[in-house]
Amino acid sequence: MFKKSSKLNNVLYDVRGPVVDEAERMESSGVQILKLNIGNPAPFGFRTPDEVIYDMRQQLTECEGYSPAKGLFAARKAIMQYAQLKNIPNVTIEDIYTGNGVSELINLSMSALLDDGDEILIPSPDYPLWTACATLAGGKAVHYLCDEQADWYPDLADIRKKITRHTKAIVIINPNNPTGALYPKEVLEGIVEIARQHHLIIFSDEIYDRLVMDGGEHISIASLAPDLFCVTFSGLSKSHMIAGFRIGWMILSGNKAIAQDYIEGIRMLSNMRLCSNVPAQSIVQTALGGYQSVSNYLTPGGRIYEQRECIYQALKDIPGLSVVKPKAAFYMFPKLDVKKFHITNDEQFALDLLRDKKILLIHGGGFHWEQPDHFRVVYLPRIEVLKESADKIADFLSYYQQNRR
C-alpha cells in the first residue's frame, strides 16, 4: 500500500474539494449543476480580447523552445513598466519572474523561504493555496482575522497579537478573494508599519488589481514600503479572461539587500522548472499595453458590475443571510444565521444545498474561516443564472434546518 505524504495531512484546497467531487458525481449521472464555485471566466462567456489571440498566433512559431527561466525579455519589460505605473520602488527587469499563473509562484516563493517551524501570517478568510503552500514548505500558517464589520479589512490588532519570534512574513490578498474587499491606503500603511517594526517580508497577492468598481483605486502595498522587502503577485488570468493560458508574475521590490540569500533560493527554484508557458508570455506586452477591455465590465451596464448588483440585492433580501457588498474582483462572502438554521457544519450545508437545489458553492471553511457561518459566491454567471440561483437559495433557506434533519 502506497500512502500519500504526511506533508499533506494539514493541507486543504476545498475550492476543488469534496463538495466539488460530489457535484462531479452528480453531473456524471446526468444532473445539471448551477456553478457558483470557481473564478474561471471562460465558461461564463467572458472572451479573451481579439488582439491578444491574434498576437499569440503570430508568435507561436517563435515560442517552441524554452525561454530564460525568469521569462521573455519583452514580457518582463512590460511587467517592469507596469510596476512603475503602480509606483512599486526599486524594480529592475531582473526582479521579475513569470510563472504558470500566480499559483506556481506562490508555491515557489513559500518553498524558497520557509523552514520547519517558521511562521507566516495569512488572512482568514484566505485564498487556500497560500496556507497549503506554506504548510507544504514546512512552515506554519498563522491566520489573522479580516473584520466583516469593517468591510472585511484586516484587523491590525489581531495581526500584532499573532506575531512571534518565529514570524517571517505577512501575506495580504488585495483585492481580496473570497470577500471582494479593496483595502484603503490607511489600512495598507498600518500593515506596512507592523511589518517595519517586526522586520517582516510582505507578500501581496494582487491578481484582481484591475477589477475594481465604484470608482475605487487599487494601491500596491509595495509602493508604501520602499524600505521593506516586498513580493507582489499579479497576472492576466482574471483581467484578460485567460485563466487557462496560465500566465502570472511576481515582482521583488524595496530593500532587496536584506533578502539576497532568499532571492538566490527563488532563482534556484525558478531555474529548476526551466521556464513558464512561453506562448502565454508572448502576449504580456500586448495585454498590459493599450486599451484595457476589462474596464467595460466594471462600470454601470457592464457585466461584472450588473451581476454584482443583482446577486447582492437578491442575497441580502433573504431572511437569515447578510452580505458585505464587494468593491472588487467577482466574489462575495455571505453570512448565514447559524442559530436560525441550526448550522454546525458549513461543508454539510454546502452539500445539502448541492443535493437539494443543484447549486455548487464553496463553504467558508474552505477559506480557513473557523466559524460554520459563511460561503463564497462567484458572480461570473449571467444575471438570469444568478437570479435563478438566488431564488433557489432563498427557497432552500425557507425550510433548511441542519441539525433537525
Distance CA 260, CA 187 (A): 29
CA angle, 68 as apex, 66 and 71 as ends, to 5°? Answer: 100
Distance CA 105, CA 259 (A): 17
* Region of poorest pLDDT, from 5-9, 173-177, 328-332: 5-9
Query: Domain check: are 36 and 182 in the same one?
Result: no
Mean pLDDT of 181-209: 97
- Is the bond into 125 cis (omega within 30 degrees of 0)? yes
Residues paired with residue 322 on neighbouring β-strands, in sequence order: 335
Q: Give the count of domains, the chain.
A: 2
Check residue 353 and give its pLDDT: 94
Across the beta sheet with 229-235, what order do the strands follow? 96-99, 248-254, 229-235, 201-205, 167-173, 119-124, 140-147, 153-154
Distance CA 277, CA 289 (A): 20
Element (H or E) spanning 288, and its range?
Answer: helix 284-288
Averaged pLDDT of the chain:
92
Helix (H, G, I), strand (E, B) or coil at 3: coil
Query: Domain check: are 210 and 302 in the same one?
Result: no
What is the residue range of 242's domain?
50-288
Check residue 52 and give its pLDDT: 83
Contact 82, 277 (CB under 8 A): no
Task: Indicate whether 324 belongs to any domain.
Answer: yes
Cell of 86: 503602480
Residue 346 neighbours by CB under 8 Å, 6+ apart: 336, 363, 364, 365, 372, 373, 374, 375
Check residue 55 and give its pLDDT: 86
Question: Does pLDDT of 259 surpass 90?
Answer: yes
Among 280, 279, 225, residue whose Cα is nearest residue 252? 225
pLDDT digits (tens, 9 = 90+) for 54-96: 888 888 888 789 888 899 999 999 999 999 999 999 999 999 9
Question: Does pLDDT of 405 surpass 60?
Answer: no
The last residue of one of the domains, among 265, 288, 311, is 288
pLDDT digits (tens, 9 = 90+) for 199-251: 999 999 999 999 999 999 999 999 999 999 999 999 998 887 887 888 999 99
Query: Domain check: are 214 and 115 in the same one?
Result: yes
Helix (H, G, I), strand (E, B) or coil at 330: coil
Task: Indicate whether 34 belongs to any domain.
Answer: yes
Question: Does pLDDT of 386 surpass 60?
Answer: yes
Query: Domain check: are 98 and 213 in the same one?
Result: yes
* Region of poorest pLDDT, from 126-135, 164-173, 233-242: 233-242
Task: Indicate whether 179 belongs to any domain.
Answer: yes
Among 171, 173, 146, residue whose Cα is nearest residue 158? 146
Give the DSSP letter of residue 163. Answer: -
Query: Domain check: are 35 and 158 in the same one?
Result: no
| Residue ranges in 117-155 assigned as alpha helix (H) | 128-136
Query: Domain check: are 107 and 210 in the same one?
Result: yes
Query: Domain check: are 124 and 192 in the same one?
Result: yes
14 pLDDT band, cuts 50/70/90, is low
Chain centroid to CA 395: how far? 30
* Region of poorest pLDDT, from 5-9, 10-14, 276-280: 10-14
Distance CA 329, CA 177 (A): 7
Among 102, 50, 78, residue whose Cα is nearest residue 250? 102
Among 400, 238, 390, residue whose Cα is nearest residue 304? 238
User: Which CATH number do you get for residue 254?
Assistant: 3.40.640.10
Mean pLDDT of 19-43: 88
Q: What is the CA radius of gyration of the chain?
A: 21
Distance CA 284, CA 356 (A): 44
Residues paired with residue 335 on neighbouring β-strands, in sequence order: 322, 374
Check residue 57 and give its pLDDT: 86
Question: Does pLDDT of 15 surpass 70?
Answer: no
Check residue 404 and give its pLDDT: 63
The last residue of one of the domains, among 230, 254, 288, is 288
Contact 363, 354 (CB under 8 A): no
Query: Domain check: are 306 and 284 in the same one?
Result: no
Query: Domain check: are 155 and 257 in the same one?
Result: yes
Check residue 16 and give its pLDDT: 65
Largest interatomic CA distance in the chain: 63
- Is the bond into 175 cis (omega within 30 degrees of 0)? yes
Distance CA 300, CA 36 (A): 22
